[in-house]
Amino acid sequence: MVGQVNDDYCDCQDGSDEPGTCKIILVVHICSPSSLCCAAACSNGQFYCTNEGFRGQYIPSSRVVDGVCDCCDGSDEELAKKQCINTCDEAGAAWRVAEAERIRVAEAGAKAKLDYIKQAQAALDDAEGAKAKLTAQRDAAKDKVAEAEGELETAKAQADANALQQHSNDAREVLKALDLAGSSADDLGAILVQLARTVKGGAPALTKLAETAALKRGVEEKNIGHIVWPMDVSEDAASAKDPGLKAAEASVAAAKSDQSEAQKALDALQDKQGKDYGPQNAFFPLDGKCVDFKQAQYTYHVCPYGSAKQDHTLLGNFEGFGENFSTMRFTNGQTCWNGPARSMTVKLVCGAEETLSSVDEPSKCEYTATLTTPAVCDDRFAKPIDVELVKDEL
């Protein structure tokens, strides 16, 4: 009822029937949204500042004519004849710069998010195909390991035979050169003991010779092991190894490394298939990424699908997302002295890339931080804000 307007009684919930202190009364219908006025009679009434050069703003009517300049155009204090400095142009310019930056980040973030989604699609959509490929790779490498191990055995036997042959040739040459071919067993024995004691590789070499001799004589091999040389000088000179043996060892090592690489990739893919990467799997590229942020005396290190740390102190392991993928929770960190296990809640904000900031510890050993990531960008925000729709928090 028109009679209820400005009757100093608050009829409407939003106070629009009581624009008592308004300089322009726009009320056409009672409780209309077009009543852009403050309302003295209503505690929740609002006053609209035009703020030319900046953006329109609602303030609680209680702030009108209270001696404090709330609106940048000073319109809230006009009736009080208070001189307010008009700061709208300055505020508007700063706002426009910030708004341009916000749009730039939102656009870059939305673009990066599309790429994140594509990466996830490429990795996850054909996960079964990729798994089959990796399984085949792993199995082929496994067969190669068995084959290379067989070749290694042959190479070892060949190297042993070569070494024995070489040793006996050398022995013959040495005896000839030293004119010891006709020496007594005692003399030769003394020389051999001396060699085993003083020459690196002498003892194993002499063992080999003893083996050959024993085999020739048909002595049981186990007895050979009982020969105790005065000093065991172990032979480890890889460079002295038979080249065939070295090549066979290298192929076994390469085949084993291929097998373990393929197995690792397979395990990682299986692990990824079981994780929650959010809507359109946009969080997929964050798995395996880590970001650092230095604040005060600490460096904070957050790996979105891994753990959060304060230097070397574990603040928590990734537990999951908070409501609507707006936060990430890290729990079960290192226990706080006389307190709970540390934990961290990371707020997710749209950004062109991952950056960590604003670490806080609002309650002892419970940490908060902000992580920007394209994963939460929404291209609807990559548009200029309709200034007239902005309503300040009251």
- Binding residues (CB under 6 A) for ligand MAN: these are 310, 313, 336-337, 361, 364-365
The residues near 260 (Cβ < 8 Å, ≥ 6 apart) are none
**311 versus 393: smaller Cβ distance to ligand MAN:** 311
**313 versus 317: smaller Cβ distance to ligand MAN:** 313
**Smallest gap, in angstroms, from Cβ of residue 344 to ligand MAN?**
11
**216 versus 312: smaller Cβ distance to ligand MAN:** 312
Report whether 304 contacts 275 (CB < 8 A): no
**Could you tell me the CA-to-CA distances from 286 to 124, 172, 228, 340 in Å, in that order?**
14, 69, 62, 28
**Smallest gap, in angstroms, from Cβ of residue 367 to ligand MAN?**
7
**57 versus 310: smaller Cβ distance to ligand MAN:** 310
Q: Measured between alpha carbons, how far is 124 from 13 in angstroms, rounded to an integer?
A: 52
**251 versus 307: smaller Cβ distance to ligand MAN:** 307
**Smallest gap, in angstroms, from Cβ of residue 330 to ligand MAN?**
14
**Smallest gap, in angstroms, from Cβ of residue 341 to ligand MAN?**
12
**Smallest gap, in angstroms, from Cβ of residue 368 to ligand MAN?**
12
**280 versus 295: smaller Cβ distance to ligand MAN:** 295
**233 versus 308: smaller Cβ distance to ligand MAN:** 308
**Smallest gap, in angstroms, from Cβ of residue 297 to ligand MAN?**
9
**Smallest gap, in angstroms, from Cβ of residue 292 to ligand MAN?**
16
Report whether 237 contacts 120 (CB < 8 A): no
Backbone torsions φ then ψ of 351, nearest 5 degrees: -160, 165
151: left (phi over 0), alpha (psi -120 to 50) or beta: alpha
Helix (H, G, I), strand (E, B) or coil at 332: strand
**Smallest gap, in angstroms, from Cβ of residue 349 to ligand MAN?**
23
Q: Measured between alpha carbons, how far is 228 from 191 in angstroms, rounded to an integer?
A: 16
Residue showing the smallest CB distance to ligand MAN in the complex: 337
Report whether 40 contacts 20 (CB < 8 A): yes
Report whether 295 contacts 319 (CB < 8 A): no
**184 versus 297: smaller Cβ distance to ligand MAN:** 297
Of 357, 378, 332, 353, the closest CA to residue 289 belongs to 353
Residues in the chain: 394
Of 139, 142, 145, the closest CA to residue 248 belongs to 145
Q: Measured between alpha carbons, how far is 87 from 53 in angstroms, rounded to an integer?
A: 9
Residue carrying structure tokens 């155009």: 73
